[in-house]
Amino acid sequence: MLPADAVVRSGLVAGGTLDRETARALARELRRSSALSDAARALRHRDVSRRRLDERLARRGARPEARADALATLERAGLVDDARVAATKARSLAERGYGDAAIRFALEGEQLAAELVEAALAALEPERERVKTLLRDPADVKALRRLAARGFASETLEDVAGFANGS
């Protein structure tokens, strides 16, 4: 069964002839509808950046014009929003105990624009304050190493550990 939206947009009518031009329009609309469905399915469980969604559609064989149209439709509907993806992911990682370097790395891995990455990081509680919350004992070397491994700046860790020790 053909998607109704593709049939209507292609100009196909019941009882009409399927000429070459109408068949091409129908094929184009079917590709567009398929790309939109694939993209919407990818967004069911989590936000995905525009670029990641475009790559997913490309891997599934969607043509560039169908991908662009699907992404534009989803952006107009507010379902694709890279700023929201950056802010949500940054906040989630910060809440899970990651430092700015690890968060930046994850956001860049999502292929988000540099200005969105910086805005998402700027919106977080300062790294120093997050370290103070996570570090119960500033003299705990293991805890400091763990935080360093989670992307906290060594300067921040040294500063907080030194500040707590009266240095």
For the CA atoms of 49, 52, 56, 62, the dihedral, rounded to the nearest 10 degrees, stands at 80
Q: What is the pTM of this model?
A: 0.76
Number of Cα atoms under 13 Å in the Cβ half of residue 55: 7
- The C-alpha atoms of residue 98 and residue 151 are separated, in whole angstroms, by 6
44-54 pLDDT, tens per residue? 988 999 999 99
Of residues 166 and 69, the one with the higher pLDDT is 69
Q: Which residues make Cβ contacts (< 8 Å) with residue 159, sequence separation at least 6?
A: 128
Rounded Cα distance between 96 and 130, Å, is: 11
